[in-house]
Amino acid sequence: MSTLRFHAVKESLTHSPKEVWENDRRSNLFGKNVFNEQAMRQHLTKDAFDGVMNAIWHGKKIDRTIADQVASSMKDWALSKGVTHYTHWFQPLTGATAEKHDAFFETTSSGASIEKFGGSQLVQQEPDASSFPSGGIRNTFEARGYTAWDPTSPAFIYGTTLCIPTIFVAYTGEALDYKTPLLRALQAVDAAATDVCKYFDKNVRKVSSSLGWEQEYFLVDKALALSRPDITLTGRTLLGHSSAKGQQLDDHYFGSIPTRALSFMRELETECMLLGIPVKTRHNEVAPNQFELAPIFEEANLAVDHNSLLMDIMGRVASKHNFKVLMHEKPFAGINGSGKHNNWSLSTDTGVNLLAPGKTPMSNLQFLTFFVNTIKAVNEHEALLRAAIASASNDHRLGANEAPPAIMSVFIGEQLTKVLEELEGVTKGKLSPEEKTELKLNVVGKIPDVLLDNTDRNRTSPFAFTGNKFEFRAVGSTANCGNPMTVLNTIVAKQLKDFKAEVDKLIDNKGLKKDEAVFNVLREYIKSSKRILFEGNGYDQSWEKEAQKRGLSNNKTTPEALKSKITKETIALFEEMNVMSAIETKARYEIEVEAYIMHIQIESRVLGDIARNHVVPTAVKYQNVLIENVKGLKEIFDKKFTEVSKEQLNLIEEISGHIEGINANVTKMIEERKKANAMQDIEDKAHSYCFNVRSLFDQIRYHCDKLELLVDDELWPLTKYRELLFTR
């Protein structure tokens, strides 16, 4: 058991020596270590500033002289803050972030030393890419990949390093990271949504996608976490009997935050502020030692970067406070797991949130257009959306007995359900003037702008409309948001593109007015997307049956779910929207299937080790104590012996039963692993790991957990749930 002492935090991770963080106002700290618009205005020449802004807003290429100027100013700004190194910061498909630091320092031919950082270093780097997953795109012998500057996400200072957000691509151009396809998807949705907006407002030039994530996590005392090989190696407990007190009293949710956790949060938030991550809320979650942190939403690409960065910072700050952060979706059996809600919306450069009901019939028609198209997109691509959040760890939530279910559905609330019902009754073809007035005034015109406060909160829905945004709640807490955001924006882009084509056709060929055409197409969409709308309890068994009747997929495991990522339709979709080539789509699939296999393989090895080398020997030791005890009783009681030692004898037998249960299942698991490892086809292998290896975890755990209840507490080698969950 570790002591709960911790040291006052003196030094900040994001280097900025002079400030006294704890006492400064949050707003004064915000973005101090970011080369953001404000900093650029201050440090760049007008040409350089305009160049970067054009790249951000209009995707214009930055030429070399401008890049040189930006690099030079960036370097001076960074040096003035005590920075010594720079790195291209990227998000390879390992799920973590990657960086390789280079010093600004260089020597000249005359032997003098200077601080150097030019446009070429800013714009492109060539890290050795051979050790990052590539799904076969890039053979190791030609380990060529490069990182390229993403000017839409500002450079930041982390520690004493200037970090430059970059994309990571193979020399042949294929994406090797999360950011590249995301940027392409954001471009696709921008183009498609801007086109549709033009029906309503000719002034719209750009539509951006916004993301506000909510990150859930557990804090566990570091020493206690380190005492458990399963937490250390897999991020979760593979065994452990539930604590007498768990979350049944519901006394943690929104309760007062424990002091040590609060001190961690304060430092974390300070770091976030300095890095321009606009964290806003923090609170206890449902489970003991579970918390949530959420920022104000941002443009999606930036928000994805910020979430990746946050996960990294969290680990470091936690360590300083003698905590380990568990980001895993299900660190403890029987206790709520963690997710990462992705709040998503689209907004125009004219300042309109396209998913917020407006004040006029026209703006409401625009809202309904985007609202209904999103619903249709989810309906058409529900299986792909499920695949976008599939991972070995998220399987513990989706498809297990925990929210949200593996079935994708959309919740829209009572009021909007009514609106859609009325829209469904719209007359086909041209509308009479009366019908139009009726529609505009009484249906579209009446969408209340107080919707935001009135939206029912159905917590069991994986994809819920919450007043002015959709909330994708099934995303895993460990996930890189880039993956689900790429899929969501791509399917909506495709849907909007199709919508535009259909509306234009009605206008051009059938002579319908623009609003009539929009109404007509929306009506058909509402009719054909009904199966995805579900307002009931998503955890209920009856929903599974109902969903099956509706033809919705219900893929409970990652190997099954991932298959939708390489269907003909998916490949064609990503190609059409210029988000991923067929090669890229297939490579990603391969990487994810392989990651799944590795994950289960590691868990299986760790579980086998703990069960055999920790639990069984401990049980034997205790059994020997009992045997000695029984021998002693025999000496003392002689004839009455069987009577007085009945309980002990039972215990000895019971322990033997569990030891046998463990050994038999571990042996079987190892055999299954061997069989799986011999398989050449990765799909077969993943299937085997899922249904033959992983399926034995529960039985092994069952026997171990039973032994935990029988064996002397003093002998038990593993820190128990009660300490892990209630040490504060």
Which residue intervals of 439-481 are DSSP H helices?
A: 451-454
Which position's Cβ is nearest ligand ADP?
212
Q: To the nearest whole angstrom, how small is the minimum distance from the Cβ of residue 370 to ligand ADP?
A: 12
- Asked if 103 and 96 count as a contact pair (C-beta separation under 8 A), the reply is no
Q: Residues 471-510 vs ligand ADP: string with x where CB under 6 A?
A: x---------------------------------------
The stretch near Mg ion (CB under 5 A) out of 10-18, 24-32, 205-213, 336-344 is 336-344
Q: Is 285 in the site for ligand ADP (CB under 6 A)?
A: no
Closest CA to 68 of 59, 57, 76: 76
> For residues 204-233, which are near Mg ion according to CB under 5 A?
214
Which option in Mg ion, ligand ADP, none does residue 297 bind, with CB closer than 5 to 8 A by kind?
ligand ADP
Nearer to ligand ADP, 409 or 570 (CB): 409
Contact partner at residue 344 from ligand ADP, Mg ion, none, CB < 5 to 8 Å by partner kind? ligand ADP
Tokens coding 511: 């002579």
Interacting residue with ligand ADP among 440, 469, 599, 673 (CB under 6 A):
469
With respect to ligand ADP, which residue has the nearer C-beta, 468 or 645? 468
Q: Does 212 bind ligand ADP (CB under 6 A)?
A: yes
Task: State both tokens at 122.
Answer: 């800013």
Distance of closest approach, residue 475 Cβ to ligand ADP, in angstroms: 13
Q: Which of 297, 332, 525, 596 binds ligand ADP (CB under 6 A)?
A: 297
Q: Which does 88 bind (CB under 5 to 8 A by kind): ligand ADP, Mg ion, none?
A: none
Only segment of 4-12, 121-129, 181-189, 208-216 that touches ligand ADP (CB under 6 A) = 208-216
Contact 267, 11 (CB under 8 A): no
* Tokens encoding 6: 């911790």
Tell me how far CA of residue 491 lies from CA of 391, 570, 577, 603, in angstroms. Answer: 20, 10, 9, 34
Quote the CA–CA distance of 325 and 318 in Å, as a whole number: 6
E-state strands within 310-462: 323-326, 340-348, 410-411
Classify burial at 205, counting beta carbons within 10 Å of its beta carbon; exposed 0-12, middle 13-18, buried 19 or more.
middle
Give the nearest distance from C-beta 128 to ligand ADP in angstroms.
37
Instruction: Establish whether the linkage from the previous residue to 484 is cis, with ω within 30° of 0.
Output: no
Give the single-character DSSP code of 210: E
195 Cβ contact partners less than 8 Å away, ≥ 6 residues apart: 496, 497, 500
- SS3 state of residue 298: strand
Determine the Cα–Cα distance for residues 7 and 20; give it in Å rounded to an integer.
17
Task: Compute how many other C-beta atoms are within 10 angstroms of the C-beta atom of residue 203.
Answer: 9
Residue type, 541: Q
Place of tokens 């899922």: 690
- Reduce the secondary structure of 91-122 to three states and give it as a string: CECCCCCECCEEECEEECCCCCEEECCCHHHH
User: Quick one: what does residue 133 bind among ligand ADP, Mg ion, none, with the CB cut-off 5 to 8 Å set by partner type?
Assistant: none
Q: Which of 68, 214, 305, 380 binds ligand ADP (CB under 6 A)?
A: 214
**345 is a contact residue toward ligand ADP (CB under 6 A):** yes
End-to-end CA distance of the chain: 12
Least Cβ distance, residue 268 to ligand ADP (angstroms) = 16
Min CB(477)–ligand ADP separation in Å: 14
Whose Cβ is closer to ligand ADP: residue 237's or residue 458's? 458
Q: Quote the least distance from Cβ 466 to ligand ADP, whole Å.
A: 5
Contact set for ligand ADP, span 351-380 (CB under 6 A) = 353
Min dist. Cβ of residue 717 to ligand ADP (A): 39
Q: Does 672 bind ligand ADP (CB under 6 A)?
A: no
DSSP per-residue string spanning 502-571: HHHHHHHHH---HHHHHHHHHHHHHHHTGGGB--S-TTSHHHHHHHHHTT-----SHHHHHGGGGSHHHH
Of the ranges 4-12, 65-73, 104-112, 288-296, which one interacts with ligand ADP (CB under 6 A)? 288-296
Give the binding range for ligand ADP (CB under 6 A) out of 248-256, 343-351, 408-416, 672-680: 343-351
Please identify, using beta-carbon distances, which residue of 210 and 322 lies nearer to ligand ADP.
210
Place of tokens 């630091």: 101
Q: What is the dihedral of CA 149, 155, 156, 161, to 10 degrees?
A: 50
Contact criterion met (CB below 8 Å) for 332 and 721 = yes
280 or 631: CB nearest ligand ADP: 280
Question: Does the protein bind ligand ADP through residue 97 (CB under 6 A)?
Answer: no
Give the count of residues interacting with ligand ADP (CB under 6 A): 17
Piece of the chain touching ligand ADP by CB under 6 A; list 293-301, 326-334, 405-413, 599-607: 293-301
Least distance to ligand ADP, CB of residue 484, Å? 13
In angstroms, give the least distance from the CB of 52 to ligand ADP.
Answer: 25
Q: Which does 663 bind (CB under 5 to 8 A by kind): ligand ADP, Mg ion, none?
A: none
344 contributes a contact to ligand ADP by CB under 6 A: yes
Q: Residue type at 488?
A: L
| Binding of residue 286 to ligand ADP (CB under 6 A) | no
Helix-then-strand count for the chain, H and E: 27, 17
Please tell me the distance from the alpha carbon of residue 552 to that of residue 177, in angstroms, as a whole number.
Answer: 30
3-class state of residue 164 by DSSP: strand
Under DSSP, the state recorded for 416 is: H
Q: How far is the CB of 473 from Mg ion (least distance, A)?
A: 6
Tell whether residue 341 is a contact of Mg ion (CB under 5 A).
yes
Instruction: Give backbone dihedrals phi and psi of 640, rounded to 5 degrees, phi first.
Output: -75, 5
Q: How far is the CB of 717 from Mg ion (least distance, A)?
A: 39
Quote the tokens at residue 654. 């019971």
Q: Which does 468 bind (CB under 5 to 8 A by kind): Mg ion, ligand ADP, none?
A: ligand ADP
Diameter of the chain measured on Cα atoms: 105
* Residue with the CB atom nearest Mg ion in the bound state: 341
Binding part of the chain for ligand ADP, among 58-66, 78-86, 291-299, 632-640 by CB under 6 A, reads 291-299
- Residue whose C-alpha is closest to residue 553's, from 401, 406, 687: 406
Does the protein bind Mg ion through residue 340 (CB under 5 A)? no
If one asks whether residue 706 binds Mg ion (CB under 5 A), the answer comes out as no
Q: How buried is 415 (Cβ within 10 angstroms: 0-12 exposed, 13-18 middle, 19+ buried)? A: middle
Binding site residues, Mg ion, CB under 5 A:
214, 341
Binding site residues, ligand ADP, CB under 6 A:
210-212, 214, 294-297, 341, 343-345, 353, 466, 468-469, 471
